[in-house]
Structure 1
Amino acid sequence: MAGRTWHSLPEYEALRALMESGTTSKAALRLGLSQSAISRSISSLEARLGRILFERDGGRLRPTFEATQLNRRLDPLFEALDRIDGPIEPTQETLRLTAPPTYAHRFLVGHIATFLQANPHFFISLEVNSSEDVIRRVQEDRSDLGVSGIDLTRQGVKLTPYRQSAAACAMPKDHDLAQLDTIHPTHLHNQPLIALSRRHSRRAQLEKVLTNSRSVPRIVAEASTSFAAVDLAQTGLGVTVINPFPVVHYRSDDVVFRKFESPIEYRTYFVTSDNKPTPAIARAFIRHLRLHTVRMQLTEPT
């Protein structure tokens, strides 16, 4: 019938393989095809849809927004094929998940619980590590999925943006600075400050901002996580400058968060392998997080 939409599974398989591997050679190896066969499938799909799906960037193919959207819509198809091709007897799928303490201890545990309640046939193994170790575990195939707040690019690892946030000041509700809508670096001059420990790259960023503004706060304590820094601020010990995600969701009842006017920005990423397909259970958990992460002050989805 004229005008009827038709679909080609080989084209969709080529799209997904190229999305997840990044090169036609890796996609071809994954599907057991030639590179020219991959290129022909992509060209045919682009011609049928009337859209550009990939752009060349320094020898690597970068998916366009249209390709990303189409690939996401194909998830149910490939998950259905996995169920058809999989074992007849149900098996328990395991997600090896890793994250630093700020994300793991309060934020992820709640989402893990609701995810497993909705998917009782799944199992999650959560490892709590430093941000650097999160990247390393995925790189070494010891974890399927990581959540990290550092932009640390390594070979074999793919970072997918999840949230972005402006830097925030946290302080008790009765603090003098709480009356302001935005805190500028000069407002912190001579103020008691709770800083992140020096192993954090954000510590050096903050010190540079303060130095450029000739603002010299009095550092009264250090903390290794945003949650600990905010907890110290809540006692009245001082002000702290942190990434508000996800701590703002758990501390907004007893602590005030105000935007800190500076070039400091934070991004939270999903960390997956760039050398193999992302497991269906990892994709399902990513969708669960995107769907169920509530709106929060000073942070938004990407």
Structure 2
Amino acid sequence: MSLNLRQIEVFRAIMITGSISGAARLLSVSQPAISRLLAYTEDRLKLKLFERVKGRVQPTPEARRLFAEVDQVHQGVLRVNEIAEELRRRGTGSVRIVASPSIGQAIIPTAVARFRASYPDVRIEIEILTLTELVAKVGANRVDLGLSVLPVDEPTVFSSQIAEGRLMVICPKGHELAALKAVKVADLAPFPLIGYGSQTPYGIHVERALRSSRAPVRINTQVRFTPQACALVQAGAGIAIVDEFVLSGRTWPDIVARPLVPKTTMRVHLLSSRLEPMSHIARAFVHHLRQLFGSPPPATSQGEDFDVAHLT
């Protein structure tokens, strides 16, 4: 027997609420109706989906395995309804974007503001995700495009470089490092550093840059994302290494940024699914994004100052 959409809906409601009564409230139907449909579904599937324990239902291992697939079907149905709504509104459309935290901090908001001037009625969804989550959504064609400061090697994802920057050392105004034009890894040795998880893609990238010197570097605070590192530095809680994209705009007025030498480049990668072409409205957003970046920022050599707001 194959499950129909109503059975899938009821099964999912029981799983997420943990009870027959909760599912009934969620779906606005009676408890007996939920119980009857569940019993019918279990009978036809020849599977025990729930154990009845003290008036509640406990999902069996088979139910948990089934739920992983059912939830994907549910998300697909939601997407169908969203598309139908977009078509009803005469194709104004939507753009679903996932991005690395650095790109999502100021660059995506600026691009959205510029895009809105030409497309005021387009619905825009933005999620800031880890690299793994980002690639999964783009590869499954659940979003229109993704933006990452780290390279992606995934067969289902098309990747192209749209901008280049570099790693920067950031410190509070008045800090000893602020007097330098550029910062060597050895210059960091006297100061505790705000770092990233050593097993994260971003942390690995930063660690690779730090290996250019034998000088010991001490990390006494660990964060997951670069905006967190910037917030800590602005509060006077330490110094950090971040990509220059997170420094765009005027979010961090009390931060001084200096290029890290030797130079370590960072690139913004535009990601899209290989499963189907990008929509017209998504391509229009990419056009505004490319205009925002312009040509890749010029390399900042040692001895040159770096303007935190140069990407605005």
Report the equivalent of 1:267: 267
Report the equivalent of 2:118: 118
Alignment check: 8 A CA contact 2:169 2:259 kept: yes
Alignment partners' CA distance in 1, 2:196 and 2:124 = 30
Alignment partners' CA distance in 1, 2:206 and 2:91 = 49
Report the equivalent of 1:9: none
Helix, strand or coil at the partner of 2:245: coil
Residue-by-residue CA offset, 1:242-298 (whole Å, 9 max, x unaligned): 111032433452111100003522111111122322211111001111223487848
Alignment partners' CA distance in 1, 2:287 and 2:171 = 33
1:126, CA displacement in angstroms?
Answer: 2.1
Helix, strand or coil at the partner of 1:249: coil
- Using the size of structure 1 for normalisation, the TM-score is 0.63
- 1:185 paired with 2:185, answer yes
Alignment partners' CA distance in 2, 1:170 and 1:194 = 10
Alignment partners' CA distance in 1, 2:248 and 2:310 = 12
Alignment check: 8 A CA contact 1:98 1:145 kept: yes
Alignment check: 8 A CA contact 2:230 2:252 kept: no
Report the equivalent of 1:253: 253
Equivalent positions of 1:233-248 (< 5 A) are: 233-248=233-248
- Using the size of structure 2 for normalisation, the TM-score is 0.62
Alignment check: 8 A CA contact 1:116 1:123 kept: no
Helix, strand or coil at the partner of 1:114: helix
Report the equivalent of 2:148: 148
Equivalent positions of 1:121-140 (< 5 A) are: 121-140=121-140
Flag the structure with larger Rg: 2
Q: 1:134 to 1:209 in 2, by over 3 A?
A: closer
- 1:102 paired with 2:102, answer yes
- Matched AA of 1:104: G
Alignment partners' CA distance in 1, 2:168 and 2:180 = 12
Report the equivalent of 1:50: none
In angstroms, what is the RMSD of aligned CA positions? 2.8
Alignment partners' CA distance in 2, 1:89 and 1:149 = 35
Alignment check: 8 A CA contact 2:107 2:245 kept: no
- 1:174 paired with 2:184, answer no
Q: 1:204 to 1:273 in 2, by over 3 A?
A: closer
Q: Number of residues paired by the alignment?
A: 215
Tell which deviates more after alignment, 292-301 or 142-151: 292-301
Alignment partners' CA distance in 2, 1:149 and 1:179 = 28
Helix, strand or coil at the partner of 1:190: coil
- Matched AA of 2:272: T
Alignment partners' CA distance in 1, 2:194 and 2:230 = 8
Alignment check: 8 A CA contact 1:171 1:178 kept: yes
Alignment partners' CA distance in 2, 1:112 and 1:209 = 32
- Matched AA of 2:207: E
Helix, strand or coil at the partner of 2:193: strand
- 1:159 paired with 2:179, answer no
Alignment partners' CA distance in 2, 1:201 and 1:177 = 26
Alignment partners' CA distance in 1, 2:262 and 2:236 = 24
- Matched AA of 1:276: E
Q: 1:209 to 1:293 in 2, by over 3 A?
A: closer
Q: 1:256 to 1:133 in 2, by over 3 A?
A: same
1:105, CA displacement in angstroms?
Answer: 4.7
